[in-house]
Amino acid sequence: MFLSNPSQSAPRASLTGDAGPHETAPLSPAPFTRNLELRIEESSRTAWCVMRPQGRPSYTLELMQDVHRMQHAMAELFAGQAESGQRPVDWFVMASAVPGIYNLGGDLAHFAERIRARDHASLVRYGHIAVEAIHRNTIAFGLPIVTMALIQGDALGGGFEHALSFDLIIAERSAKIGLPEILFNMFPGMGAYSFLSRRLDRRRAEELILSGRIYTAEELHAIGVVDVLAEDGEGEAAACDYIARHSRKHNAHLATLRARRRVNPVTLEELRDVVELWADAAMNLAEADLKKMGRLVAAQERRLASLASPGFAQAAE
C-alpha cells in the first residue's frame, strides 16, 4: 500500500504484498528491489513502481542507480514480448511507500560533504546520474506507455523535479510540493527550470524557483503544474480512475504525448548542461549556506525519527 497518512486504509494492499485479486505480481526478482518494488497489474495493464528507500527518502546514489535498473527492466520486459506484437503494459505509475513523503529531494548531506572537500567532479557525477534517469522518464523509457507520478505527500527539490519528468502528475490535495533550494542560496539543477518553463512559462517558472515557497498540490493544480488533483487518501484511486477512463483511447493519448515531446523536447544535453551550472554554483556556497543545508538535513532526520516512533507505528496499524 502507499498512502498519504497512517490513518488511511489501504484500498489495494496487493500492490505491496502477495499477488491477489487485482492480479498484481512482482515483475521479477530483479536487483533493484532493495529500494524499489515494481509490479504489473494485468487487469489494468499498469506497471506500479513504489519507492521504498533504505534510510532517508531522498535521491541517494543508491536509489538513483536502482531507478536506472528499473528503467532497463521495463525495456527488457517490452523486448521480451516484441515478437508477439503485444505490449505488456500501457501505463506506468511511480509512487512512494513512505507515509506522507514522495521524496525529499537531493542528498543534501552528500552535497555539503563534497562542497567542503572542493570535489566538483563528484557533484557533476551525481547530477549526471540523476538527469540520465530523469531524461529516460521524459521519453517514457523509450516505450509506448503513458507515465504518471503519484504524489501522496511531500515532493521537495529533486523529488519535485523527478515528478515533473513524468507525462502526468497526480497529487493529493494537501501534498506539499516545492523547491526550497533558494533557502541555502542554490537553485534546483536537475530539471526544474526545463520542466516548469515548458509547463508554465519562463517568468512563472523563475518565480516558483526563486520564491523557495512550498505549495499545496491544490495550488499547483490551479496553475497547471499538477494534472489531476485527488482528495487526501484518494490518490491511488484517482490514478486507477484516470487509467480506466482513458484506456480505450490509449492510442490517442500516447500519440498526443509523443507530439508534446517532439514539439517541446527536454533533451539530455540540456539537462546535463544545467547540472554543470548547478555544480559550479554549488562550489560558490559559503559556510553559512552549508550550515543552512545541514539544518534542513537535521529537520529531515527528526521527521523520519517520528515516523519510526512506536506511537506512529501503532497509528499506522
Share of the chain above pLDDT 70, in %: 86
Alpha-carbon span 290 to 193, nearest angstrom: 23
84 or 251, greater pLDDT: 251
pTM of the model: 0.86
Name the CATH code of domain 13-236+246-251+260-308 (choices 3.90.226.10, 3.20.20.60, 2.60.40.10, 3.30.70.250): 3.90.226.10
169 or 307, greater pLDDT: 169
pLDDT at 32: 54
pLDDT at 81: 81
pLDDT at 21 over 70: no
pLDDT at 308: 65
pLDDT at 180 over 50: yes
Average pLDDT over the chain reads 87
131's enclosing H/E stretch is: helix 120-138
pLDDT at 10 over 70: no
At 227-247, the pLDDT tens digits run: 999 999 999 999 999 999 999
pLDDT at 31: 46
Per domain, the residue ranges of the chain are: 13-236+246-251+260-308
Mean pLDDT of 130-157: 97
Mean pLDDT of 198-212: 95
Mean pLDDT of 140-149: 97
pLDDT at 11 over 70: no
pLDDT band at 309 (very low <50, low <70, confident <90, very high): low
The torsion angles phi and psi of 143, rounded to 5 degrees, stand at: -115, 160
pLDDT band at 6 (very low <50, low <70, confident <90, very high): very low
Task: Give me the residue label for grid cell 523535479.
Answer: 161
C-alpha distances out from residue 238 to 85, 227, 230, 262, Å = 30, 11, 6, 28
pLDDT band at 171 (very low <50, low <70, confident <90, very high): very high
305 or 235, greater pLDDT: 235
pLDDT at 64 over 80: yes
Residue 253's Cα: distance from chain center in Å? 21
Burial 221-244, CB ≥16 within 10 A → b, else e: beeebbbbbbeebbbbebbbebbe
- Among residues 182, 179, 15, 169, the alpha carbon closest in space to that of 97 is found at 15
Alpha-carbon span 160 to 196, nearest angstrom: 10
pLDDT band at 20 (very low <50, low <70, confident <90, very high): very low
